[in-house]
């Protein structure tokens, strides 16, 4: 009789473990699915927050209307990072000199060339104006501005 009781207890223990394991697996799958859903919802919330912030920072309707008017004039103009770099090298100018010619900072030129940012309408108009000039004209414009072409090479040693 003791043997039968032990076998019965072992069988009950085995079936109980099997049932608990199946319940745990289904619960773990549900938890995983919920975590995934929560992560997706968080991403959507962040995207919507960014969109709301950009719309709030967009300004008034009149500012948006002026942007549209400026963009109408510059519709046919294309911009690419490669074209800015090619134009600058064609003119033989450093980023510093080219930025003075366009009317922006050297960092802006770097960001345009690396594709990190795009020029605004006014800056795009300046880029288009510089597209049509040659090396001599570019150097002449720089001298007119009172900024001669910067020289390459090392700075003189400090005394």
Q: What tokens appear for 116 in the block?
A: 């990190």
Q: What percent of the chain has pLDDT over 90?
A: 34
Do residue 78 and residue 31 come from a single domain?
Answer: no
The pLDDT assigned to 35 comes to: 96
Q: What tokens appear for 137 in the block?
A: 């004209």
- Which is higher by pLDDT, 29 or 63? 29
Segment 18-24 shows an average pLDDT of 93
The pLDDT assigned to 75 comes to: 63
For 25-34, letters b (16+ CB in 10 Å) and e give eeeeeeeeee
Asked if residue 159 belongs to a domain, the reply is: no
Whether this prediction's pTM lies above 0.85 is answered by no
Asked if residue 153 belongs to a domain, the reply is: no
Domain count, the chain: 2
CB-CB contact of 87 with 132 (8 Å) = no
Asked if residue 90 belongs to a domain, the reply is: yes
Do residue 139 and residue 72 come from a single domain?
Answer: yes
Asked if residue 53 belongs to a domain, the reply is: no
The pLDDT assigned to 146 comes to: 77
Angle between the N-to-C axes of helices 81-91 and 135-144, in degrees from 0 to 180, rounded to the nearest 10: 80
Q: What percent of the chain has pLDDT over 70?
A: 82
The pLDDT assigned to 125 comes to: 87
Do residue 134 and residue 94 come from a single domain?
Answer: yes
Q: Examine the pLDDT at 134 and tell me if it is beyond 60.
A: yes
**pLDDT of 66-122, one tens digit each?**
444 444 555 667 888 888 899 888 999 998 998 898 889 999 999 998 888 888 888
Alpha-carbon gap, residue 101 to 142, rounded angstroms = 6
Do residue 71 and residue 139 come from a single domain?
Answer: yes
Asked if residue 101 belongs to a domain, the reply is: yes
Do residue 7 and residue 72 come from a single domain?
Answer: no
CB-CB contact of 96 with 150 (8 Å) = yes
Do residue 72 and residue 125 come from a single domain?
Answer: yes
Asked if residue 156 belongs to a domain, the reply is: no
Segment 16-25 shows an average pLDDT of 93
Domain with residue 112: its CATH number is 1.10.260.40
Tell the residue number behind the tokens 């992560």, with chain if given. 39
What residue numbers bound the domain in which 24 lies? 1-44
Asked if residue 91 belongs to a domain, the reply is: yes
* H or E stretch at 121: helix 121-131
Do residue 136 and residue 78 come from a single domain?
Answer: yes
Asked if residue 62 belongs to a domain, the reply is: no
Do residue 71 and residue 140 come from a single domain?
Answer: yes
Of the candidates 67, 84, 58, the one whose C-alpha atom is nearest the C-alpha of residue 121 is: 67
Q: Examine the pLDDT at 22 and tell me if it is beyond 70.
A: yes
């Amino acid at each position: 009789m003791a043997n039968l009781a032990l076998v019965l207890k072992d069988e009950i223990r085995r079936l109980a473990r099997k049932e608990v394991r199946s319940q745990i697996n289904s619960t773990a799958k549900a938890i995983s699915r919920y975590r995934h859903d929560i992560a997706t919802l968080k991403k959507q919330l962040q995207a919507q927050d960014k969109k709301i912030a950009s719309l709030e920072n967009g300004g008034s309707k009149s500012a948006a209307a002026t942007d549209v008017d400026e963009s109408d004039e510059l519709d046919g103009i294309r911009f690419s990072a490669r074209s800015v770099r090619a134009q600058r090298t064609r003119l033989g100018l450093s980023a510093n000199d080219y930025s003075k010619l366009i009317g922006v900072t050297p960092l802006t030129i770097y960001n345009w060339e690396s594709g990190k940012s795009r020029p605004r309408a006014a800056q795009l108009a300046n880029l288009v104006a510089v597209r049509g000039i040659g090396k001599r004209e570019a150097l002449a414009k720089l001298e007119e501005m009172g900024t001669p072409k910067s020289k390459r090479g090392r700075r003189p040693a400090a005394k």
